Structure 1
Amino acid sequence: GGVVFDPGRAALADGAADQLPQGVFCLDRLGTVVYANAAAARFAGRAREALLGRTLWEALPWLTGPPYDDHLRGALLSPEPVHFHVRRPGGADGGHGGYDGFAVSVHPGDDLLTCTLVPASRMEAPGGPRPPGPAVAAGPSMAAAYRPIALAIALTDAVTAQQVSAVVMQELLPAFGGRRLAIYLLQERHLHLAWESGFPPGFLEPFDGVALDARIPAVETLTTGRPLFFESMRQLAETYPGLPVDAEEGARAFLPLIASGRLVGSCVLGFDGPRGFSAEERTALTALAGLIAHAMERARRYDSEAALARGLQQALLPSRLSAHPRVETAGRYLPGTEGLDVGGDWYDVVESGDGLALVIGDVQGHGVQAAATMGQLRSAVRAFALGDRPPDEVLSGTNHLLIGLDPGQFASCCCLRLDPATGLTRIARAGHPPPLLLAPGGRARPLDIPGGVVLGVDPGARYPVTELILEPDAILALYTDGLVERAGADIDDGIAELRRALDRAGAAAGRRDGLTLSGVADRLTAAARHADARPDDVALLLARRLRHG
């Protein structure tokens, strides 16, 4: 058997963990080895490639069976690390019947078990007396053994500088008993404070924006590329006379953040009391600084791309919607808040002959590419609609254009043409959620409109047209799936919830001096707007046909 690995994660973790004398390996929830450092392979007496992708009982059979299975099961159920000893028959060098002893620690995570192997003194064969006392003490030295892997895994999901800093706060400080953290990032030859925790309020302000020629440890650790360790505040004051300090007692570590030779910034760790830094801890902290630097570099690229995508998205969304004296429209767009938060949702209202074309769509994916593809599709739809083409031809033409562009993306779309004078509405959709219709004095309902496949997949796709009469004061709602999808819930439940919200808002709009259509749009997007997290972006387009006079 085998597994497919993310080279980005492996590249970050390997360099750090391979410097550690302890064996480190990771198991997924099915018991498959998904990572092993060089020391773990050496202790196992097998090549690293022979461990990866194999179950624990295949890769390390001497670590399975009673009582070790019970310890591993306990780690799956416990939030705390589990520690025990293991005896390896034969020795790592294929010895003659001896037993190598290892102290094993298993650290549970959301998706992985991170395990460490530390060579112990030679132990007696099974059945002999066991060493007294706990197998392994949980402390900074053991934490240093597994934190590079845990940190690398956690940093993989951190995409902004704030998220990277939060991961460092959660994973790094507890491992070494630290209580203070400051992270500086380099910008135009000045170090700017990106994160602080535990320092007295205002203490770090004078150090924010310092130039690279300043003689302070946070600068010199970066310019020299060497970590600086001070085992007491007195040692720090003697090395840097006149440097303000935030405490009389404590220790400090200043780590350079350098990614592939590029200066990124510096990281400051603070400890409440004097402490020494062992050679093992210095090596681990230096390796961890490399992981942080790579993650911060990635976060910078993310921030730049996100800013570009946001600007592109805002430029491409309509600043105003085409108007008609007999039709009121309102649109809303909310970006997602997770990952690269700019997506490919869009809406538009276009003059089409003597009527109006309303369109809403959702390009798969997020980021600059999704926003750029959205802009191309919006332009295509506008061009077809301005030519007074029926909805099915608008979708077919846009489908062929997207296939010709070949961006490796697809899009859902709903397009309708409304005749304001008669209310005749012709609708076609391509893999998009069905519109909702709220008739005057009635209840909102999803329209039963047979649709075609999403755009960009099948050049021969057909998009059947459904006709209906939009009565005066009726509200038609077009939306993207970000408004109705919820984690772990069926999309039909989300549509039903939106339908009920439209009922309530529509009732308020129907009263004298009630809500405008813009107010209805605000009501329908209120929950998404105030949500703690939006995994996807949201678009909404409402239309109401007005009565004469």
Structure 2
Amino acid sequence: MAATGRTRVDEPGEPAVNGADLPRAARDLDAELAETMRRTGATVGAFYLLLPDRDLLQLAVVGGVPSDIAAPWSRVALASPAPVSDAVRQRRMVWVGDHAEMTRRYPRSALALPYPLALAAVPVDGKRLWGVLLLMWPGSHPPRTTRRERSNLASSSRRLARLLDEAADAGHPLAAPDTPRVLGAGDIRRSADPQPAMAAADFAERLPEGGCALDLQGRVTYVTSKGAALLGAEPQALLGTFPWQSLPWLGDPVYEDRYRAAIISRRPVAFTACRPPDRWLDFRLYPDASGVSVRVTPAGGRGRGTWPPEPDRQGSGAPARVGQLYQLLHLAAALTETVGVQDVVDLIADQIMPAFGAQGLVLSTAESGRLRITGSRGYPPEAIERLDGLPLDTRFTPAGQALTTGVPSFFSHPEEMARIYPEAPHISGKQAWAFLPLIVSGRPVGICVLTYDRPHAFPAEERAVLTSLAGLIAQALDRARLYDAKHQLAHGLQQALLPHRLPTAPGLRVAARYLPATRGMDIGGDFYDMVRIDETRVAAVIGDVQGHNVAAAALMGQVRTAVHTHATADAAPDEVLARTNRLLVDLDPGLFTTCLYADLDLEHGRARLVSAGHPPPLLRHADGRALRLDVPPGPVLGVDADAAYPVTELDLPLDAVLILYTDGLVEKAGTDIEHAIDHLAGRLATWSAEDPERLLELLLDHAGPAERRTDDIALLLVQRVRRAPDTREAPETPKAPAPPGDPDGAGE
């Protein structure tokens, strides 16, 4: 068409998602996703492929939004708090009814998508768990799903699973693409009859206001002559461009954000902007599944400011794209959730690298004047070995200088690098580099190097975003190193205070486990112990010191030592706890301690139990019957120096399992602990396992996943079994060779 008057252009640059060059599995997947979006009315659709070997979800195809909006979520770690990862981990549909619910449940995602929407993430589970289907609707969608809608979503998931199963059976399984494919509007919305196109253009041209159309990527596909005149540009100069790039006065990220809001929410959006020097224009955006219609009308002078902006408000370069700003917010939120150094490395590799198109990563920390590599991706081992431990003043790579000066270095081509550092390109084999020093409060922490397999230009806005991101990485890395150091200290202290191994005795099987709370320093006051009193008697001990800190762990060590000492002196069970109680009263640690002590006579099958405010033990008989034992508790330790502890005697039948535990196994917020103990006893009776180790695993599964655990758990399971016959007094009877490490042939 002519450069003036009514003008349109076909959508440029859209990926050919249905081209013959795509594998059949990918073509079928794209077609099914488009059909699912049409059938469910979803405005955004995507499929994430599960990469089991990496615990990662890779975005394979997306439709209904520009590719840059999907960029922050091109890779999602299974452990991350996101709807798609929750759907895969829990193997159930995750529904988010509105943005308020998104903010409450997934604040990181809500930060990068601050628009009204509803969302469903449905696992695609066939012969294997393939991944997850993600669908989004505008904010006008009801916050609750109907039964019919849930049925449609389940049917869509099954169709996708069947499609992927068939492709795998045919020897052509779906492979993760390097970059996600983007469905064009024509793939999602069936094309209309082209005949009325000219009539529609004539209609638009006769209207008194200006108009233009944008595709889902934000490019201008059509503009009327009045619209071009109001925008102050030739129609052909606008077609195929992004308005915020071809019209510098629309370059403020606020205006691009209005377009993104219209695309995501599918609701009309309006804003006013000033065309220099003083022409104010009203813009109204009307979105649908194929793009956005924009009405442009004069707004008149409103005295809203001058153009250009005041000099002190002008930046030295072009403003950052709003997509990059949201991406930076998303990555910043993700970095705040990292815990250890490995978490930081994984986040950079899984989200920051793909966000900036990098293929390689080296993350190093500054230690004793050298750069020690703490994580890498995309490098052969020999290159990492060569680069690890370089001195800070090295002339081999720019890493040391960048860290010393605090100034990032960017090299777009190997020739640029070779002019100053001739050996570096040959060692790494890379073609472009971004050296980002990690500085915290003026103190060098380390350096993050992003590398590319091909030459890569670093525009000013990308350099600015990477530099800002380096500061966030530095804070996360410094915090993660501190956490790792504390974690190693806590772990070492906990291991030192718990028994390294439990004593063995003929006729005895034992299983024990300590699991720390998932919050805090991974250290607490729960403990267990087993004491060999004589040839046929052992003492089983379990306890819980108040708190989850070093003070609790230190007191736990004192309690365990005191109990152990009195038990080995063959004190009566009530005396063991009474003496330990008096010691704690004298120490006055300010923390109370619960404890359960069981004196077990393996030869005669008797048990004497005494409790200091501890949850009652459970007993599971060989026939599967399970019950809680009624052990009257005395006061907790360390409160009353004159406290007495009543002794309870009971039978310990052969093959029965005595289960001692701390309250972390049964106590949950909002649940009565007595009811929880009875419920656990009922579950014990339904399990077929008889071995203490297997029972222990089942008990831990019953306690729930680790991420939901808020208290320590200590478990000690004791089973009395039939003793192997002692043949040492009958030399005339042939004796089987003893297994290694069991010279007496006692077995258990």
Common fold: TM-score over 0.5: yes
* Contact 1:413/1:429 (<8 A) preserved: yes
Deviation at 1:249, TM superposition (A): 7.3
Q: Whole-Å Cα distance in 2 between the matches of residues 309 and 107 of structure 1?
A: 47
- Relative to structure 1, the CA distance from residue 243 to residue 270 in structure 2 (aligned partners, 3 Å threshold; closer, same or farther) is closer
Q: Whole-Å Cα distance in 2 between the matches of residues 487 and 270 of structure 1?
A: 48
Q: Whole-Å Cα distance in 1 between the matches of residues 682 and 281 of structure 2?
A: 63
Q: Whole-Å Cα distance in 2 between the matches of residues 457 and 379 of structure 1?
A: 19
More displaced stretch, 267-276 vs 189-198: 267-276
* Contact 1:391/1:427 (<8 A) preserved: yes
Q: 1:277 aligns with which of 455, 458, 463?
A: 458
Q: 2:285 aligns with which of 130, 134, 159?
A: 130
Q: 2:618 aligns with which of 436, 448, 462?
A: 436
Deviation at 1:79, TM superposition (A): 7.5
Q: 2:495 aligns with which of 278, 295, 314?
A: 314
Q: Match for residue 415 of structure 2?
A: 234
Q: Match for residue 164 of structure 1?
A: 344
Q: Match for residue 94 of structure 1?
A: none
Deviation at 1:268, TM superposition (A): 0.8
Deviation at 1:411, TM superposition (A): 5.0
May I ask how many residue pairs the two structures share in their alignment?
A: 449
- Relative to structure 1, the CA distance from residue 496 to residue 410 in structure 2 (aligned partners, 3 Å threshold; closer, same or farther) is farther
Deviation at 1:194, TM superposition (A): 1.6
Instruction: Tell whether 2:512 aligns with 1:332.
Output: yes
- Relative to structure 1, the CA distance from residue 532 to residue 122 in structure 2 (aligned partners, 3 Å threshold; closer, same or farther) is same
Q: 1:121 aligns with which of 262, 266, 273?
A: 273
Q: Match for residue 695 of structure 2?
A: 524
1:41-78, CA deviations, whole angstroms, 9 ceiling, x for partnerless residues?
xxxxxxxxxxxxxxx9xxxxxxxxxxx99x42347987
Q: Match for residue 104 of structure 1?
A: 257
1:289-311, CA deviations, whole angstroms, 9 ceiling, x for partnerless residues?
22222222222223323333333
- Relative to structure 1, the CA distance from residue 279 to residue 447 in structure 2 (aligned partners, 3 Å threshold; closer, same or farther) is same
- Relative to structure 1, the CA distance from residue 466 to residue 287 in structure 2 (aligned partners, 3 Å threshold; closer, same or farther) is farther
- Relative to structure 1, the CA distance from residue 452 to residue 102 in structure 2 (aligned partners, 3 Å threshold; closer, same or farther) is farther
More displaced stretch, 141-150 vs 228-237: 141-150
- Relative to structure 1, the CA distance from residue 157 to residue 460 in structure 2 (aligned partners, 3 Å threshold; closer, same or farther) is farther
**What one-letter code is carried by the residue in structure 1 that aligns with 2:418?**
A
- Relative to structure 1, the CA distance from residue 127 to residue 223 in structure 2 (aligned partners, 3 Å threshold; closer, same or farther) is closer
Q: Whole-Å Cα distance in 1 between the matches of residues 428 and 524 of structure 2?
A: 47
Q: Whole-Å Cα distance in 1 between the matches of residues 681 and 335 of structure 2?
A: 35
1:358-411, CA deviations, whole angstroms, 9 ceiling, x for partnerless residues?
211244665645533321221232345456565566556656766776767665
Instruction: Tell whether 2:253 aligns with 1:73.
Output: no
Q: Match for residue 221 of structure 1?
A: 402
More displaced stretch, 314-323 vs 488-497: 488-497
Deviation at 1:231, TM superposition (A): 2.6
Report the secondary structure of 1:145's partner residue: helix
* Contact 2:692/2:719 (<8 A) preserved: no
Q: Whole-Å Cα distance in 2 between the matches of residues 422 and 175 of structure 1?
A: 69
- Relative to structure 1, the CA distance from residue 219 to residue 122 in structure 2 (aligned partners, 3 Å threshold; closer, same or farther) is same
**What one-letter code is carried by the residue in structure 2 that aligns with 1:188?**
S
- Relative to structure 1, the CA distance from residue 494 to residue 441 in structure 2 (aligned partners, 3 Å threshold; closer, same or farther) is closer
More displaced stretch, 168-177 vs 227-236: 168-177
- Relative to structure 1, the CA distance from residue 477 to residue 73 in structure 2 (aligned partners, 3 Å threshold; closer, same or farther) is same
Deviation at 1:314, TM superposition (A): 3.0
**What one-letter code is carried by the residue in structure 2 that aligns with 1:233?**
P
Q: Match for residue 477 of structure 1?
A: 659
- Relative to structure 1, the CA distance from residue 145 to residue 363 in structure 2 (aligned partners, 3 Å threshold; closer, same or farther) is farther
Which residues of structure 2 form unaligned runs of 5+? 1-98, 122-133, 139-215, 219-252, 262-270, 295-318, 727-748
1:437-484, CA deviations, whole angstroms, 9 ceiling, x for partnerless residues?
244556343334455787678999986654312235543232346667
More displaced stretch, 235-244 vs 342-351: 342-351
Report the secondary structure of 1:203's partner residue: helix
Report the secondary structure of 2:486's partner residue: helix
Q: What root-mean-square deviation, in Å, do the aligned CA atoms of Structure 1 and Structure 2 show?
A: 5.2
- Structure 1 residues 14-163: aligned runs within 5 Å: 29=101, 71-74=115-118, 102-104=255-257, 121-122=273-274, 129-130=284-285, 141-163=321-343
- Structure 1 residues 247-326: aligned runs within 5 Å: 250-321=431-502
1:306-338, CA deviations, whole angstroms, 9 ceiling, x for partnerless residues?
33333333332234546667x635243355595
Q: Whole-Å Cα distance in 2 between the matches of residues 259 and 79 of structure 1?
A: 40
Q: Whole-Å Cα distance in 2 between the matches of residues 417 and 106 of structure 1?
A: 74
Instruction: Tell whether 2:650 aligns with 1:468.
Output: yes
Q: 2:716 aligns with which of 526, 540, 545?
A: 540
* Contact 1:313/1:371 (<8 A) preserved: yes
Q: Whole-Å Cα distance in 2 between the matches of residues 73 and 303 of structure 1?
A: 39
Q: Whole-Å Cα distance in 2 between the matches of residues 428 and 135 of structure 1?
A: 78
Instruction: Tell whether 2:369 aligns with 1:212.
Output: no
**What one-letter code is carried by the residue in structure 1 that aligns with 2:321?**
S
Report the secondary structure of 2:257's partner residue: strand
- Relative to structure 1, the CA distance from residue 479 to residue 209 in structure 2 (aligned partners, 3 Å threshold; closer, same or farther) is same
Deviation at 1:351, TM superposition (A): 5.6
Instruction: Tell whether 2:627 aligns with 1:445.
Output: yes
Report the secondary structure of 1:104's partner residue: helix
1:499-525, CA deviations, whole angstroms, 9 ceiling, x for partnerless residues?
555x532xxxxxxxxxxxxxx343334
1:400-434, CA deviations, whole angstroms, 9 ceiling, x for partnerless residues?
76677676766553222334565442324456554
* Contact 1:346/1:362 (<8 A) preserved: yes
Q: Whole-Å Cα distance in 2 between the matches of residues 205 and 253 of structure 1?
A: 20
Q: Match for residue 414 of structure 1?
A: 596
Q: Whole-Å Cα distance in 2 between the matches of residues 129 and 369 of structure 1?
A: 63
Deviation at 1:228, TM superposition (A): 1.0
* Contact 2:272/2:282 (<8 A) preserved: no
- Relative to structure 1, the CA distance from residue 283 to residue 451 in structure 2 (aligned partners, 3 Å threshold; closer, same or farther) is farther
* Contact 1:257/1:263 (<8 A) preserved: yes
Q: Match for residue 28 of structure 2?
A: none
TM-score scaled by structure 2? 0.49
- Relative to structure 1, the CA distance from residue 526 to residue 281 in structure 2 (aligned partners, 3 Å threshold; closer, same or farther) is same
Report the secondary structure of 2:379's partner residue: coil
Q: Whole-Å Cα distance in 2 between the matches of residues 193 and 256 of structure 1?
A: 14
* Contact 2:665/2:700 (<8 A) preserved: no
Which residues of structure 1 form unaligned runs of 5+? 1-26, 36-55, 57-67, 86-99, 109-118, 506-519
